[in-house]
Amino acid sequence: QGWQLDREWEEVTKGKKNLGGTVVASANRDKKVENADDADEIAMLEKIPFACIICEGPYREPIQTRCGHYFCEPCALKRYRKDPTCAACGAGTNGVFNSAKKLKKLLEKKKEREEQKKKEEEEAQEEQ
């Protein structure tokens, strides 16, 4: 039976790039200059889809696959039961779904910025 699993695994991963490796959290958690961080965060947010590509809605408990794509946790797990590959690129996920803590922070900051911008616009209209 082990040979069957090996054969199935070979069929699934045939011709796909091995993205193996260990994800290590950074031990350096020093605060950087906020302006530089903001620019980096904005650039990163522009690269990341604003919604889950499976449900096409805003992220609910976002996770990141080994290949770097983001999905809602419930969507990714539901899809994994039927198809163990990434919904975006087709790479094997091996059931590895990491919590996207950085994305959560970025989305929260983006929401705060939008609320602040909206508040400033309302104040500007009231002054006129």
**pLDDT, tens digit, for every residue of 47-57?**
677 788 899 99
Question: 18 phi and psi, to 5 degrees?
Answer: -80, 115
In angstroms, the CA 48 to CA 50 distance is 6
Residue 125: exposed, middle, or buried by beta-carbon count in 10 A (0-12, 13-18, 19+)?
Answer: exposed
CATH number of 49-110: 3.30.40.10
User: Regarding beta strands 70-72 and 97-99, do their DSSP bridges make them parallel or antiparallel, or are they unpaired?
Assistant: unpaired
How much is the pLDDT for 117? 87
Predicted confidence band at 16 (pLDDT cuts at 50, 70, 90)?
low
Percent of the chain with pLDDT over 90: 17
pLDDT at 15: 58
DSSP structure class, residue 39: H
Residue 82 has pLDDT above 90, yes or no: yes
pTM, to two decimals: 0.56
Query: How many CA atoms lie within 13 Å of 33's alpha carbon, on the beta-carbon side?
Result: 3
